[in-house]
Amino acid sequence: MTQPVFFAHANGFPSATYGKLFSALAPEYAVQHLELHGHDPRFPVNDNWSNLVDELLHHLEQRSEPVWGVGHSLGGLLHYHAALLKPQLYRGVVMLDSPILTLADQIVIRAAKRFGFIDRITPAGRTLGRREEFADLVEARRYFAGKTLFRRFDPECLDAYVQHGLHSTGKSLRLRFDPATEISIYRSVPHTSPGRPQQLQVPLAMVRGRHSRVVLPHHARLIRRMAQGEYLTLPGGHMFPLERPQDTAELLKSLFSRWAGQPRSEESA
């Protein structure tokens, strides 16, 4: 029987970019997702991402059964916060290169917002002034292929980003993910949480790209102190789900299969 997965994408990367990963999970797992997080006017981006979590919960609550929640970067933290609030909607959560923020992290983020240096500790500063318009798909692919962030992408994933990450204006192609929304998401990164890691009632795995500078050793220590938490790694950097989609899918299937045989926790640790 096919099991439902609900995927949440990284900031700036429409869900269709991950099509090769989704295909690699089939036929055992059927992936559902939002095309673009943060673009529904009913759930505008706000500080600490609470509206984005509400947007995710809104769609999960329409499902008839709990899901495996999988999120990359932004998406991983959204699933984690949503699972703290409504664990009954989940069978388990996998955060792909997405850290659970410690108290020290939250203090630094709060200070960065208050004193105006949040753009220096998030990718917001690098996003400002990013090129948004291209003449055609050939020019766009050549441009992105030359960028460090995309350099190790699986070729099919890079093609998917160019195809689904841009839309036609009639005269040119522009980024589909609104750059102002992308920057706003970075600037409002949470300095609060709806609960403590020990309160999570479903299994959780944090998977780090081995060369990532986003998930750090202190995040791994936090996970290892959780009753149902585990820390894993895969080759690659922060974008490893798009660099190694097949390996990522195999790890997810292994996790889900193992978790499916474990009893569900019904109360907080």
Query: Can you list the domains of the chain with their CATH numbers?
Result: 1-269 (3.40.50.1820)
Residue 233's SS3 state is: strand
Angstrom CA distances, 228 to 124, 167, 204, stand at 33, 42, 6
Which tokens in the block code for residue 109? 């983020």
Identify the pLDDT of residue 266. 43
Residue 33's SS3 state is: strand
C-beta separation of 143 from 134 below 8 A: yes
C-beta separation of 78 from 37 below 8 A: yes
C-beta separation of 209 from 236 below 8 A: yes
| Sequential pLDDT tens for the chain (269 residues) | 899 999 999 999 999 999 999 999 999 999 999 999 999 999 999 999 999 999 999 999 999 999 999 999 999 999 999 999 999 999 999 999 999 999 999 999 999 999 999 999 999 988 877 899 999 999 999 999 999 999 999 999 999 999 999 999 999 999 999 999 999 999 999 999 999 999 999 999 999 999 999 999 999 999 999 999 999 999 999 999 999 999 999 999 999 999 998 754 443 33
**Residue 170 CB partners (closer than 8 Å, separation 6+):** none
C-beta separation of 131 from 143 below 8 A: yes
Which residue type occupies 86? K
Residue 69's SS3 state is: strand
Identify the pLDDT of residue 104. 96
Identify the pLDDT of residue 136. 96
What pTM does this model have? Answer: 0.95
Q: Tell me which DSSP letter residue 176 carries.
A: S
- Where does residue 168 rank: exposed (0-12), middle (13-18), buried (19+ CB within 10 A)? exposed
Beta strands in 97-197 (DSSP E): 133-134, 166-168, 173-175
C-beta separation of 215 from 208 below 8 A: yes
Which residue type occupies 110? R
Residue 209's SS3 state is: strand
